[in-house]
Amino acid sequence: MAKLSPHPIEPFRSVIIPQSKRKPLEKIDKLVEAVKQANDLPGTAEEKEQLVVELSAGRKLLEASTIRLAALRATVQPALRWILEKAAGTIVGKIAGGVWDFFTGLHWL
């Protein structure tokens, strides 16, 4: 399971994302699709919709050539934490764990 240790927030730090590096987009896309299709995801329909909106907002940020990490953290981190806490052991939880590990490995979360 993904480790949920906090990373020091650097609110004005930005990262440049090369156009050829699409792995972050692919990972978010896979998670959004899994959340949309999941029948065993805990929570209400409104919570599921909120997850999709927050993850999609994070995806939109990743489309830019430069992103502020604080903005990415503010949109993606709460949704990932919710999934990792409430849906651990499900397919969606496992995909979310992979996204968390990928982003924390880059020091983005």
The Cα-based distances of 100 to 42, 44, 72, 104, 109 in angstroms read 19, 23, 12, 6, 8
Helices (H), 1-109: 23-37, 45-62, 69-86, 91-105
Query: Contact at 8 Å (CB) between 36 and 90?
Result: no
Structure-block tokens of residue 46 = 């409104």
The pLDDT of residue 6 is 46
Count of residues making up the chain: 109
Amino acid 57: pLDDT = 95
Give the chain's residues under pLDDT 50: 1-8
Question: Structural domain boundaries of the chain?
Answer: 22-105
* Residue 102, pLDDT score: 87
- pTM, 2 dp: 0.80
